[in-house]
Amino acid sequence: MLTVAQLAHTLQTTLTTTAETAARDAQFIKRERKLTGAAFVQGLVFGWLAHPEATDDQLVQAIARAGSRISPQALQQRFTTEAATCLAMVLEAVSTTMIRADTVGASLLTRFTAVWLLDSSTVRLPDVYATEWPGSGEAGTAGAKLHTMLDLVRGQVQGPTVEPGRPHDKHSPLQPVPIEPGALRITDLGFYALGRLRQIGDGRAYWLCRAQVQTHLRTADGRTWTLLAFMRAQRGAIVDVPVTLGARAQLPARLIAFRLDGQAAARRRRTLGRQAKKKGQTVSADRLALAGWDISVTNVPTTLLTAEESRILLRARWQIELLFKRWKSAGKVDVSRSQSAERILCEVYAKLIGQVITQWCSVLGAWRVRERSLVKVARVVQDHSTALALALPSHRQLCRVLRILRESCQTGCRVNTRKTRPNHCQLIQESPRAA
């Protein structure tokens, strides 16, 4: 179980010892002056965590609370390539730190040792970074992808790993990360690679994802199908059959499909059309035809997961999209008041460090509460960010602030239940096999 003392120690180590080492290694701090590496990192992280669109005056005040006094003009001069490298090193340290809660109770999720959601989100960078950080169409000329894994069972985050925005998600640095035996990995189609899925299965772990339109499969009777031809041959509303995937790979799997009603299928086709138009593309006829089905593939056996439960878990993938949404809407990781390219890059790194710390506080204060609202938790952490910064030098005082934060999360950060369109927490609890 994650304790207050453990999180306090991790915060102190990361934002003092690790920050000072990173500042020296990045040659951001070459000799001791008015500004220390720890004060710079702490000031930016907690300054932007408290005020995501902070002014220079607010940032230097936050740095002063961390023990260094500099002017706004001096701060502007410290946003350099070396400063960005320093913050990137600290982000790498926090993104690989294991902070997780204990498994609580029984639910659909706890049938697995972990339920890892893997995805990426894109932030745009100034065009001057087009060579170093080439962007995709979504990110513009220059951009970065935030590759992230989130465990729904215990709240642990791996990442964000910040990489150039152009490479496909199949080449994500988190794609080959080992999945522990008994765990489940859920991804979207960007990470679909039969070789990687086979590796997960060989490691006695599980995977679940949408079926790719171009998928070829073989059924138990030995017939080979395209996905479209197979679905056109189905007459029922629900399909759950063993297949092997790939024209050559022949990966054993279950194909699970739910037929959508006419209105839902029409909405999906309209959405596909809008998305394609935004990217200057057209939707293929096969994709439009398959839009009448929810189709997924998995290696989880029927004894562990029913077809309907697989649909609930696939819907749970939205939780990592909500994580990115909180980083961008509340944390403003893709927003800056500045036009300086170096400052914007520093801002991305510092704000991401703050968002990982917010996740750590969520694990401490809310992960044992199944009906948690992580949006409300993020507001609580933001409200306590200045208190956390002031208490950081004292382990005792920092523990006190973390206890208050934990109590606030546990008493005032619950999600409202819904009779129609149940939320994620309700679906997980109300699964037919949940205890």
In a domain, 174, yes or no: no
Q: Are 10 and 58 part of one and the same domain?
A: yes
Pick from 213, 305, 310: nearest CA to 258: 310
Examine residue 430 and state whether it is found in any structural domain, yes or no.
Answer: no
Statement: the pTM of the whole predicted model exceeds 0.85 = yes
Task: Write down how long the chain is.
Answer: 435
pLDDT number for residue 420 = 65
The mean-pLDDT minimum among 139-143, 195-199, 260-264, 363-367 falls in 139-143
> Does 175 map to a domain?
no
Q: Is 376 helix (H, G, I), strand (E, B) or coil?
A: helix
- Least confident segment among 50-64, 217-231, 260-274: 260-274
Listed in sequence order, the DSSP H helices in 215-304 are 227-232, 262-278, 285-290
Residues 300 and 337 placed together within one structural domain of the fold: no
Place of tokens 């765990």: 183
> Are residue 224 and residue 296 in the same domain, yes or no?
yes
**Structural contact between residues 349 and 364, judged by C-beta atoms closer than 8 angstroms:** no
Tell me whether residue 110 is in a domain: no
Count of the separate structural domains present in the chain: 2
pLDDT for the residue 279? 73
User: Is 108 part of a structural domain of the chain?
Assistant: no
Task: State both tokens at 385.
Answer: 């960010």
- Specify the residue for token string 């000329």: 141
Q: Verify that 345 and 296 share a domain, yes or no.
A: no
Rounded CA-CA distance 149/115 in Å is 10
- The verdict on residue 56 lying in a domain is yes
Peptide bond preceding 252: is omega within 30 degrees of 0, i.e. cis?
no
Domain boundary among 308, 343, 374: 308
Asked if residue 402 and residue 369 are part of one domain, the reply reads yes
190 in a domain, yes or no? no
Residue pair 41/28 in contact by the 8 Å Cβ criterion: no
87 with 346: CB under 8 angstroms?
A: yes
pLDDT in tens, 90-113: 999 999 999 999 876 668 999 999
Amino acid at 168: H
* Predicted local distance difference test score (pLDDT) of residue 435: 34
- Range of 362's domain? 4-97+332-412
What are 171-180's pLDDT values in tens digits? 999 999 999 9
Check whether residue 11 and residue 65 sit in a common domain: yes
Tell me what pLDDT residue 421 has: 66
Task: Please check whether residue 148 lies inside any domain of the structure.
Answer: no
